[in-house]
Amino acid sequence: MKKLIRVTKADIANGRPRFASSCPIARAIGRATGTRTTVWPVSSDFFAPWFATFRNETGGYASVRLAERAARFAGRFDAGLAVEPFNFYLELP
């Protein structure tokens, strides 16, 4: 199932670079899914894939790969570069 994730100006303003549970994307996914979410890269490479981890419907945890657009945003945000609000789809298990 795909879920539309909306990263807002408020998410960006209240997000914290390099804090997995406080980045704008984690805030937006948490709001859309109703769960605490962390967002993290596979490695420190700027172009590495990024994943989101959150509680699923059964109470366990699920990790899904972020869309390329979201991964680029997360890398830019953590690097202190300018970012803008955007939307993307997250493929939920």
Domain coordinates in residue numbering, the chain: 2-91
- Residues 81/21/57/69 CA torsion (nearest 10 deg): 10
C-beta atoms surrounding 40 within 10 Å: 17
- What pLDDT, on a 0 to 100 scale, did the predictor assign at position 35? 86
Q: How far is CA 11 from CA 8, 19, 87, in A?
A: 5, 13, 12
pLDDT per position as a tens digit, 27-59: 999 999 888 888 888 765 555 678 888 877 777
